[in-house]
Homo-oligomer: A and B are copies of this chain.
């Protein structure tokens, strides 16, 4: 039914355009009348007036996306503010780029993940794709503007046609909060600062225990070489290793051998290394490893790790970082250090919202772990890919997975039953009786002009009780109650919502009195 109506509406539109064209082209009256008759017939099939169609399709947001209501926005804004505070503490400058890029900008940057890029329809003109991360747009921005050094942060949504797992905070549209340091600098100084930034952010969000895993792409490549992986399979084997955080070694080994054609012995040698993790002592152990020692890339990677761990130690991060040979990261563009911040144990669990509402808290909810909440690394060649002369700008950066952090904090807020205040209203202006709406507007105007956050009922004559209930429900601390008796003397009642204490205040002193109470509160 409703589809049919939709189609008819479309036909009416087309027919209407035709009639207008005929008229514009001054066609014969007969021809125009004929088409007008057809138009009227179409309209008649709709029956009745031109009332708005009530669309019958399911009301939803696109797959893998969600709305944020006021509660979620309040929580989210709190998280983002804390993150920005850390970025600014480290001298970050903000930039923003368009949500879509020329498709060619994204081509060849993401390896096997490229299939997850959203494309725009070709509507004539340029061929566009939605940004997949904030890193490639940064590289494009740096090359386009010939910027050779910047410490920038960027908080914006990115888009991936991935399989969504919304309870784990995995969406198709999600915020990224990126901090990157571009410029030619001495080894590991900017890299270590990125690790420090991750730890400051996770500490400030008070989200529970975490570990920042560290590894190095040069070491991975050296390790692959030492294990006998052919050079042209490094990236694809690296992609397989990247799955170790979700899949057991047996599955990853199978992918290497069966799908990617790797020699079984080589896979087993990789399996020995990727189970290793530790600190500076592991670096020393591997620097003594016969197979790795023989491969220059492996040695370079290990020496980088040694320096990074030293700086992390100065930053007080010994207990927070873990050198982990199973960390690979999926993206092609990394060339040096790679990191990943992972929540540990309890803090990684978010209750499934669906279950919470069904089971109503009676049974323990099955927790879903969110895992990685930050990731990044060094990518020294990406900017050069955009520069006509190939001029490189070395970069290192980190991206905070805020959606997963939101999921954890939302689950925690839901469990606590606490409701966040979603508006900042300080004063509600109420009528004690009928006929005072213009007086309310006058008082509101006076308050707004003094910078006081104030609201009222948009009814002409609301009941006093309803107005006071609104204040209690919305945790508004003060009410100005207007009544003819007081107004005749130039007074209004100022009432504290929690204590219900009332004082008469001169209208001209009202804004100052409210300010005074807020400061002493």
Q: Give me the interface of A with B, judged by CB distance under 8 Å.
A: 6, 9, 19-20, 23-24, 43, 50, 52-57, 59-63, 65-70, 73-74, 76-77, 88-102, 104, 107-108, 118-123, 125-126, 128, 130, 140-141, 143-145, 150-152, 157, 159, 161, 173, 181, 183, 185-186, 189-190, 192-193, 196, 200, 232, 236, 258-261, 311, 314-316, 381-382, 384-390, 422-425, 437-438, 441-442, 445, 448-449, 451-455, 458-460
CB nearest neighbor in B for A449: B316
Contact A261 B20 (CB under 8 A): yes
A387, B52: Cα distance in complex, Å: 11
A88, B74: Cα distance in complex, Å: 12
Cβ-neighbour of A61 out of B23, B97, B200, B315 (below 8 A)? B97
Contact B120 A55 (CB under 8 A): no
CB nearest neighbor in B for A140: B59
Please give 20 more A-B residue pairs, beta carbons under 8 A apart, in addition to A65-B98, A89-B454, A186-B437. A23-B259, A23-B261, A52-B382, A53-B385, A62-B128, A69-B145, A73-B95, A90-B448, A91-B424, A91-B455, A93-B423, A119-B121, A120-B120, A120-B121, A121-B122, A185-B458, A185-B459, A190-B458, A314-B441, A314-B445
CB nearest neighbor in B for A117: B123
CB nearest neighbor in B for A102: B62
Contact B67 A98 (CB under 8 A): yes
Cβ-neighbour of A54 out of B128, B144, B389, B460 (below 8 A)? B389
A177 → chain B, closest Cβ, in Å? 15
Contacts A93-B70, A95-B70: A438 and B314 contacting too (C-beta < 8 A)? yes
Copies of the protein in its oligomer: 2
Contact A452 B89 (CB under 8 A): yes
Contact A455 B259 (CB under 8 A): no
Cβ-neighbour of A423 out of B52, B91, B382, B388 (below 8 A)? B91
Cβ-neighbour of A55 out of B95, B104, B445 (below 8 A)? B104
- Please give me the 6 A-B residue pairs with the lowest Cβ-Cβ distance, nearest first: A185-B458, A70-B93, A65-B98, A91-B455, A23-B261, A119-B121
A65 → chain B, closest Cβ, in Å? 4
A193, B456: Cα distance in complex, Å: 11
Contact A460 B186 (CB under 8 A): yes
A192 → chain B, closest Cβ, in Å? 8
A463 → chain B, closest Cβ, in Å? 14
**Residues from chain B with Cβ under 8 Å of A98 in the complex:** 61-62, 65-67, 173
Cβ-neighbour of A381 out of B23, B52, B236, B311 (below 8 A)? B52
CB nearest neighbor in B for A188: B458
**Residues from chain B with Cβ under 8 Å of A96 in the complex:** 67-68, 73, 76
Contact B423 A99 (CB under 8 A): no
A60 → chain B, closest Cβ, in Å? 7
Contact A55 B92 (CB under 8 A): no
A284, B89: Cα distance in complex, Å: 60
Contact B91 A54 (CB under 8 A): no
Contact A126 B62 (CB under 8 A): yes
**Residues from chain B with Cβ under 8 Å of A55 in the complex:** 104, 385-386
Contact A385 B52 (CB under 8 A): yes
- Some 7 contacts from A to B, beta carbons below 8 A apart, are A6-B108, A19-B261, A69-B95, A73-B95, A74-B94, A99-B173, A151-B455
**Residues from chain B with Cβ under 8 Å of A152 in the complex:** 70
**Residues from chain B with Cβ under 8 Å of A141 in the complex:** 67
Contacts A314-B445, A315-B441, A459-B185: A61 and B101 contacting too (C-beta < 8 A)? yes
CB nearest neighbor in B for A21: B259
A271, B94: Cα distance in complex, Å: 49
CB nearest neighbor in B for A186: B460
Contact B24 A108 (CB under 8 A): no
**Residues from chain B with Cβ under 8 Å of A236 in the complex:** 20
**Residues from chain B with Cβ under 8 Å of A104 in the complex:** 6, 55, 57
**Residues from chain B with Cβ under 8 Å of A67 in the complex:** 95-98, 141, 144-145
Contact A62 B101 (CB under 8 A): yes
Contact A448 B89 (CB under 8 A): yes
**Residues from chain B with Cβ under 8 Å of A92 in the complex:** 423
CB nearest neighbor in B for A74: B94
Q: Which of A74, A128, A236, A441 has the most CB of B within 10 A?
A: A441
